[in-house]
Amino acid sequence: MGVRSLGIFASAIALLSLTPVQAGNYDGPWSVELSTEQGQCGLNYKGQLTVAGGRIAQSGLFVQTSGAVDPSGRVAIRMTHGSDQLAAGGTLKGASGAGQWHSPTQQCSGRWRAARL
């Protein structure tokens, strides 16, 4: 999996880690940023994603994404690209959120942050 593919994974992760304006309401567009802190991924990504019904479930040409945000603001998401995997989690508060991601198959990890648009 290339850096671009990993960036797509990371952006989806960041989306689910966004903080809602009202508790339990995470729907809408979000700005996300991901960065690599360990490993050779070289992932630095900025983009936008959309949450619908408190969940993200997207199937793209190359990436499968699934995850959820619980009412208390905890985020969990998993992405796959062929045999490569990426997982992320974090906490939401107010109109922003932050957390960590890791890719066991790429042997790298980092942090994400997000803000409601």
Residues sharing a CB contact under 8 Å with residue 1, sequence separation 6 or more, in sequence order: 81, 82, 84, 105, 106
CA 81/CA 104 separation, integer angstroms: 13
What is the rounded end-to-end Cα distance, in angstroms, of the chain? 29
Please give the chain's pLDDT, 117 residues, in tens: 555 445 545 554 544 444 334 446 777 777 778 789 999 887 777 766 677 788 866 666 777 777 887 777 788 888 888 888 889 999 877 799 999 999 999 899 999 898 988
pLDDT of residue 15: 45
CATH number for the domain spanning 18: value is 2.40.128.120
pLDDT of residue 107: 92
37-41 long-range CB contacts below 8 Å, 24 or more apart?
A: 37/109, 37/110, 37/111, 38/108, 38/109, 38/110, 39/103, 39/106, 39/107, 39/108, 39/109, 40/106, 40/107, 40/108, 41/3, 41/6, 41/103, 41/106, 41/108, 41/110
What is the value of pTM for the model shown? 0.71
Give the three-state DSSP class for 3.
helix
- How many domains would you assign to the chain? 1
pLDDT of residue 58: 65
Domain that holds residue 94: 3-116
